[in-house]
Structure 1
């Protein structure tokens, strides 16, 4: 029996591929994973295709349900259901190139290039309610601008890693990553409130207060597209694609991991992924909105005017006061962002001992045909880590065919069923992993969907 407990991102990490020793992609999850191959070569653009999308609070069915034709009511009901800690996440990863090979008896060197798209946004509860419903029913309540928090990026990652078998028990590994930024947008750590109170003094029954507002949206790789004349969507896409391999901004990061066999059946493992920083220095733009302001509204006066006198420009005066107290600035300062760090830790236990006659990898003995496990998942986000837990059964049918069935619980759903299948035809490997299978029966009602597939050449020895 195999138990695996860990911390990884259920969106960006892949619990169905974690510690699958037949797949080179396991080294991207844990550079110190135990592996059962001596060489691999990915099919360019097809060795790994990954897509994930999820919403922690609502589904498309909540908005577009045919049982109620009033969309406004459904939107209002959904907004009341959501909290400022609910979030939306989309992640896509395409492996452009991947290669690796055994060096000596203990080391495995691998490297490659992949492109990643990642968007993570918390639901802006208070601003959304204020914009959709107004403040009439919320007299005396604060609307918090801190609810606005999101990150989004498109980048290319160049990486090289070393997996080293210290002895028959311990395997360690590390991976160095160079990030090439294509596009970035982020707005976090915003502050400020909007409030309406009843007042006995002044020209109105209410007083509106905007206190200590400081909202900043940073972007890189976007300002030049926005400012260019005759820019169209097609031109913008072509320009972004032209930056796919060599973006304007760079960053650096590392992955670290290990696997340790405590006994013949029991092993523990752990890793940290994307401990890194992006430096946004070119094509940056910072949109900043800050200040404080109080108003009781307008008090129109209607004095008698002759033909040479104009009425008092109340609205112009109000706009001038607003602009003097609430500042809207655009700058082009450099800024840095942390990559969303993932971390994993676990222990495992295997049954069904099997030693194949051609099993020349001494450090891999013994081999177990059945693996049962538990994997907990999380990733660092602006308001704190997000988590998920996955229990699985991993079965090696034979030396070529393997599958993993999993049940998961995370912040998207309590019933996440997953299935991974990998098969090797001589040296050619194909794999498919699908998470949240129940959601695929009705995507409109699904809180999340995840798909990973790929093909590559994987060799058990140095001979082709």
Structure 2
């Protein structure tokens, strides 16, 4: 029962707070949030002010290898059978991910040279966990049927962080055909946990000459979990009260571990109807020097096994004490306070689109002189994100339709690490100077979210001003 609960928590954790690909907002120049994905994007307005805590709410989560439905579906077999089958179907490159972002402050303004400046603060939480295949098999099935198999501790790898991001940037009209932009970021981290590049194996081998049938080996064990900001939270006597909230707020607003980052992007028009864009986000790092606790477990150990029956002397207490002392002599557990640096997960966007159905209606939107406007765009968007064991990719095809000056929509199809059936929809409406938008992915799975490998939702509200 305990094992079932443990693996249900592992499998379902990402879905409690629905990755970082924002393909629906990308190139959506009616919204200031498009600048957060491409600092070199065009915008059609002259000023904006986001409603605090409401201008962007983003929740996304995914699992590349298992869904709720795989575990809880009705049918033959027990839940234990379905967990076992899911473990066997996945490998160590499958992963779980959660990302959450909340804009605290957002504002922008255009200067007399047509440059558009942005500044603000947003909060982000990101967790990425690789499925520890070998350790999951060992914990769930034991080693009975896996004699001479090396169970690798390197399968265990994860990153998790919560931080505030302070940013300021600009987008500049270099010419009618080219727009570029940059954004500087200051990271103020509340919490970080990092465990990558662990080493070591556990193996069971026959031992016909030994005291028991099998011998167990733990070789080259070196497991390191780095944390910053965690110790002061768990050691606090006021775990759920105002003291903890004050501690979190202090770290979030420049009192925690700090780092620097940079975003860059561009928009290029080979022709009025064709557009090429690209951006690179979060080229940056965080230096962890405060509230650091690193937990290391390392060494080598070999044993004939644990005696099921008491030793012949009958002194069982002495036997267990000796076994524990022997284990402690060979496998060392240390708590360290060494500072460390983590790099932010770099993200790359690129797109190409074609516009058609010219819009000849007059407007007071900001557009470079001579640029024609169109009602429709069709295009392709590419996204890549660096993770500890490689890069995750996504490719999107989209159709963007402007119905009038106050209403616009976008529909997308995305193939990524989670699925090949991701249909997304974004709707944006403007009432006077107030703009509201809602975007969601994986619409085909909304009738039964338990079958979804990932889910994402974004919404926001802001005041947008256009100079007459």
Q: Is the 8 A contact 2:29 2:44 kept in 1?
A: yes
The 3-state SS of whatever aligns with 2:322 is: helix
**CA distance in structure 1 between the aligned counterparts of 2:413 and 2:298, rounded to whole angstroms:** 46
Q: CA deviation at 1:245?
A: 2.6
Deviations 1:383-405 (A, max 9, x none): 11111111110011112211001
Displacement of 1:238 in angstroms is 6.0
For residue 161 of structure 1, report the CA deviation from its aligned partner.
0.6
**Which of 343, 366, 370 pairs up with 2:348?**
343
2:322 corresponds to which residue? Answer: 317
- 2:455 and 2:239 mapped to 1: Cα distance? 34
Alpha-carbon contact 2:297-2:331 (below 8 Å) kept? yes
Aligned residue number for residue 5 of structure 1: none
C-alpha displacement of 1:187: 0.8
The aligned counterpart of 1:421 is 427
Alignment map for 1:19-418 (pairs within 5 Å)? 19-68=27-76, 70-229=78-237, 231-232=239-240, 236=244, 239-241=247-249, 243-297=251-305, 302=312, 313-358=318-363, 361-363=367-369, 365-418=371-424
The counterpart of 2:464, out of the listed 452, 458, 462, is: 458
Q: 2-side partners of 1:301 and 1:233: how far apart?
A: 51
Cα displacement (A) at 1:234: 8.2
1:197-229 C-alpha deviation (Å, 9 max, x unpaired): 112322122121111111111111111122234
SS of residue paired to 2:254: coil
Q: State the secondary structure of the residue aligned to 1:77.
A: helix
Q: How far 1:23 sits from its partner (Å)?
A: 0.7
What is the TM-score with the length of structure 2 in the denominator? 0.91
Higher RCO by CA contacts (8 Å cutoff, separation 6 or greater) = 1
Paired residues of 2:311 and 2:319 also in contact (CA < 8 A): no
Q: Distance in 2 between matches of 1:276 and 1:163?
A: 20
2-structure distance, mates of 1:135, 1:55: 27
Structure-1 separation of matches of 2:235 and 2:164: 24
**Higher deviation after alignment, 245-254 or 428-437:** 245-254
Report which stretch shifted further, 314-323 or 139-148.
Answer: 314-323
Distance 1:312 1:344, change over 3 A: closer
- Cα distance in structure 1, aligned partners of 2:273 and 2:436: 28
Cα 1:100–1:231 shift into 2, 3 Å: closer
CA shift digits 1:357-390 (9 cap, x unpaired)? 3356335711121101111222111111111111
CA distance in structure 2 between the aligned counterparts of 1:437 and 1:312, rounded to whole angstroms: 61
Which 4+ residue blocks in structure 1 deviate beyond 6 angstroms? Answer: none
Aligned residues: 448
CA displacement at 1:460 relative to structure 2: 2.3
Go from structure 1 to structure 2 and tell me whether the alpha carbon gap of 1:222 and 1:444 turns closer, same or farther (over 3 Å shift): same
For 2:70 and 2:247, the matched residues in 1 are separated by 37
Q: Secondary structure at the match of 1:413?
A: coil
Question: Matched residues in 2 for 1:268 and 1:227: separation?
Answer: 51
Cα distance in 2 between the residues matched to 1:172 and 1:444: 42
CA contact (8 A) 2:114 2:172 kept: yes
**Structure 1: gaps of 5 or more residues:** 1-9
Q: Distance in 2 between matches of 1:364 and 1:32?
A: 20
Post-superposition shift, 1:312? Answer: 8.2
Separation in structure 1 between the aligned mates of residue 68 and residue 447 of structure 2, nearest angstrom: 14
Match of 2:3 in 1: none
1:437 aligned partner:
443
- Structural RMSD (CA): 2.0
Give the TM-score normalised by structure 1: 0.92
Shift of 1:172: 0.7
Q: Deviations over 1:89-115 (max 9, x none)?
A: 111100011000111233111110100
| Offset, 1:355 | 3.9
